[in-house]
């Protein structure tokens, strides 16, 4: 399968507290620096599973950008269509994790992908049109999302919503999306529902399908995932695992769904959960 992914590639700086975080104090922690970004993470997992992957992203003309691009090329991601910006910095994602691996606070500086211009995307029209699947993350502006969806001309598109603050960017384009992956908080923001019980999670999924999305996957952490299409809503349980770091688990789920894009709803959900569990095991 040939996949084109458009969105963020950045450097992740992850700090994990060695004990419960004490607000306002200096907390002993472990720190790691790795390649990251939602689009980059999805592309990396697809490449490792043998798929042909073209990643379109923007980086700064700086040492972090060089490091990021080299790390992606090493695992087989096509980086020829990367956009190098001389007037901005390569994106950085900073997360502080509790000692149990859950996110205490996270911050991102994504000016590079958000600075992509329409002419820069149009230049890569061939990659967008020729892919069997186009995957977009919402680190892109609404203008670029609209252009990419227009260029795609009705061929399969998957969207990862990234964060609560960015999910409104896709609100006007739901009818053009084949698969939408979002978490509980992002689904609440997009639908206005409070997803405190299973029935409301299903209602949120059906709401998004009624607005044009063909398939919706709402991830619920250790409660698994709710998968919805026009015919049914199902809950698929998570795979029990000792979690030490949740960073990138949602991206792994998206990659798993993409790997089984031509399968039935349950198989797609199970594929996403399986790849997310594999990723979490590597993080332990």
Q: Which residues contact 256 (CB under 8 A, 6 or more apart)?
A: 45, 268, 271, 272, 273, 274, 275, 276
pLDDT of residue 122: 96
Q: Is the pLDDT of residue 216 over 90?
A: yes
Domain boundaries, the chain: 159-284
* pTM (two decimals): 0.91
Mean of pLDDT values over 241-249: 73
Q: Decide if 94 contacts 106 (C-beta within 8 A).
A: yes
Superfamily per CATH, domain 159-284: Ribokinase (3.40.1190.20)
Cβ atoms of 55 and 151 within 8 Å: the answer is: no
Report the pLDDT value the prediction gives residue 153, as an integer from 0 to 100.
85
Provide φ and ψ at 267, rounded to 5°: -60, -40
pLDDT, one tens digit per residue, over 34-79 is 899 999 999 999 999 999 999 999 999 999 999 999 999 999 999 9
């Amino acid at each position: 399968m040939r996949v084109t992914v458009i969105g963020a590639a950045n450097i992740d700086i992850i700090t994990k507290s060695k004990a419960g975080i004490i607000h306002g104090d200096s907390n002993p922690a472990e720190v790691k620096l790795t390649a990251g970004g939602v689009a980059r993470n999805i592309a990396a997992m697809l490449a490792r599973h043998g798929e042909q992957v073209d990643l379109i992203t923007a980086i700064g003309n700086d040492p972090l950008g060089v490091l990021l691009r080299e790390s992606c090329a090493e695992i087989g991601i096509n980086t020829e269509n990367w956009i190098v910006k001389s007037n901005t910095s390569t994106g950085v994602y900073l997360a502080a994790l509790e000692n149990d691996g859950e996110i205490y606070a996270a911050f991102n500086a994504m000016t590079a992908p958000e600075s992509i211009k329409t002419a820069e995307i149009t230049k890569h029209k061939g990659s967008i049109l020729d892919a069997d699947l186009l995957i977009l993350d919402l680190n892109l502006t609404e203008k670029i999302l609209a252009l990419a969806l227009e260029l795609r001309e009705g061929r399969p598109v998957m969207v990862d919503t990234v964060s609560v603050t960015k999910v409104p960017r896709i609100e006007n384009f739901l009818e053009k999306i084949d698969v939408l992956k979002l978490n509980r908080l992002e689904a609440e923001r997009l639908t206005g529902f409070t997803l405190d019980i299973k029935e409301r999670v299903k209602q949120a999924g059906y709401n998004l399908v009624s607005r044009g999305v063909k398939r919706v996957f709402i991830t619920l952490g250790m409660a698994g995932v709710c998968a919805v299409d026009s015919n049914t809503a199902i809950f698929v349980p998570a795979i029990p695992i000792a979690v030490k770091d949740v960073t990138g688990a949602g991206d792994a789920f998206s990659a798993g769904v993409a790997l089984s894009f031509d399968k039935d709803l349950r198989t797609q959900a199970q594929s996403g959960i399986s790849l997310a569990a594999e990723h979490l095991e590597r993080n332990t």
